[in-house]
Amino acid sequence: MGMIGGGMGAFIGAVHRKAAAMDGLIELSCGAFSNSPEKSKASGKELGLPESRVYPDFRTMIEQEKKLPADQRMHFVSIVTPNFAHFEPAMLALENGFHVVIEKPMTFTLEEARQLAAKVKETGLLLCLTHTYAGYPMVKQARYMVEQGLFGKIRKVYVEYPQGWLSELSEKEGNAQAAWRTDPTKSGKAGAMGDIGTHAAHLAEYITGQKIQKLSADIQTIVPGRALDDDGAALLRFDSGASGVLIATQVAAGEENNLSIRVYGEKGGLSWRQMEPNSLEVLWQDKPKEVYRAGQGYLSPVALHNCRTPAGHPEGYIEAFANLYRNFALTLQARLSGEEPDTTLVDFPDVEDGVRGMAFIDNIIASGKSDSKWTDFKI
């Protein structure tokens, strides 16, 4: 694996590295960790990489790595830069035959996303979009139970993602994470909707198997002086009959990272909360509530495939992230061995999810500006 971005001090880069390392399937072999060659070099040194594999920029990295013998060069790049700097390295990597792992939202614009999708299709290379929360085993279990029809036809979906960390104008007080995320030139046309709204939308579609068809949104910038939205909510209608609500806000003071989802069908429903991710509550109309737990033998094969420890030994955010990397690596290994991975077990968000995520941003921002109640979800 070669990393682009994620130099010293970056939050998500370190998470990617821990996640990639967890299962012994992936080795960090090179990187271009910063747009400053010095910082990149220092980061690479800190990470124990040989100097020759630490590059001043992603172009050099891709060019140089390509020249290495196949058994020595990186197999894929992992792109962990801010949104505006996703497209170029991803496209270049694909053009040069490297598979790609990339942070969400996938690109800066929907148009870029479409181009990446076309390139992936053209090259047949793999692209994994790190919608972390889709990596949790109990999310897999939820998806499985819905798919099996245990709840009957799905009617209601409530997904919410309240955070409080942007309750103040912290981008003006030296918070680097806040600074780029609230800067339209780096984050794109959306703030909260891009950063966390896309996660919520992906989770809802992933678990239900239904796609958002139209939405009605109230998008706001609550904190005075902020350049992008930091709050929003939307009424949702899905393509197979469900409806629901999506909430994503970064000004719910006191909230940490409280993503949760509830899905109800004709016979029962389920509830999952990211902050206690190893439990999945299952409600029934006529029998006691059940609590499914990670690591238990009664789980579906796909949920168990994404567990590492026996029940009661909690796994968390880094493990969920690691599941994306592991499933990506297993798919890549299978491909390199000329085999097909078992896609009922091994899955990860891909370039199509990335396109939908960028479309979600476009559509929800458009709806926020519209006086009409409903905005069709267009791609």
Q: Which of residues 159-178 bind a copy of itself (CB under 8 A)?
A: 160, 162-165, 167-168
Q: Is 363 in the site for a copy of itself (CB under 8 A)?
A: no
Handedness of CA 295, 300, 301, 303 (dihedral sign): negative
- By CB under 8 A, the residues from 246 to 285 that bind a copy of itself are 247, 249, 251-258, 262, 264-269, 274-278, 282-285
Q: Is 195 in the site for a copy of itself (CB under 8 A)?
A: no
In the list 8, 18, 68, 334, the residue contacting a copy of itself (rule: CB under 8 A) is 18
Which residue carries 């996303």 as its tokens? 113
Q: Which is nearer to a copy of itself, 168 or 352 (CB)?
A: 168
Site size with a copy of itself, rule: CB under 8 A: 92
Q: What are the C-alpha distances in Å from 137 to residues 5, 58, 133, 159?
A: 28, 33, 9, 18
Rounded least distance, CB 265 to a copy of itself, Å: 6
In the list 291, 301, 343, 376, the residue contacting a copy of itself (rule: CB under 8 A) is 291
Answer for the pair 315, 307: CB distance below 8 angstroms, yes or no: yes
In the list 103, 195, 229, 319, the residue contacting a copy of itself (rule: CB under 8 A) is 319
CA-only gyration radius of the chain, Å: 20
Peptide bond into 288 cis (omega under 30): no
Q: Which of these ranges, 69-77, 91-99, 304-312, 332-340, lies near a copy of itself under the rule CB under 8 A?
A: 304-312
Entry field: residues in the chain: 379
Rounded least distance, CB 309 to a copy of itself, Å: 6
Rounded least distance, CB 249 to a copy of itself, Å: 6
Rounded least distance, CB 307 to a copy of itself, Å: 11
Answer for the pair 80, 5: CB distance below 8 angstroms, yes or no: yes
Token pair for 47:
């990470």
- By CB under 8 A, the residues from 198 to 237 that bind a copy of itself are 216-218, 220, 222, 231, 233-235, 237
Torsion on CA atoms 234, 239, 243, 246, rounded to nearest 10? -30
Which residue carries 């967890």 as its tokens? 22
The residues, any chain, with a CB within 8 Å of residue 289's CB and separated by 6 or more, are 281, 282, 283
Q: Is 96 in the site for a copy of itself (CB under 8 A)?
A: no
Q: Is 150 in the site for a copy of itself (CB under 8 A)?
A: no
Q: Which is nearer to a copy of itself, 107 or 271 (CB)?
A: 271
CA distance 102 to 325: 11
Q: Is 304 in the site for a copy of itself (CB under 8 A)?
A: no
In the list 179, 311, 366, 379, the residue contacting a copy of itself (rule: CB under 8 A) is 311
Q: Is 310 in the site for a copy of itself (CB under 8 A)?
A: yes
In the list 317, 325, 360, 377, the residue contacting a copy of itself (rule: CB under 8 A) is 317
CA distance 12 to 19: 10
In the list 58, 84, 151, 360, the residue contacting a copy of itself (rule: CB under 8 A) is 151
CA distance 278 to 303: 11
Token pair for 150:
């245990």
Rounded least distance, CB 252 to a copy of itself, Å: 5
In the list 8, 37, 88, 158, the residue contacting a copy of itself (rule: CB under 8 A) is 158
Element (H, E) at 3: strand 2-4
Residue 2, phi then psi, degrees to nearest 5: -115, 135
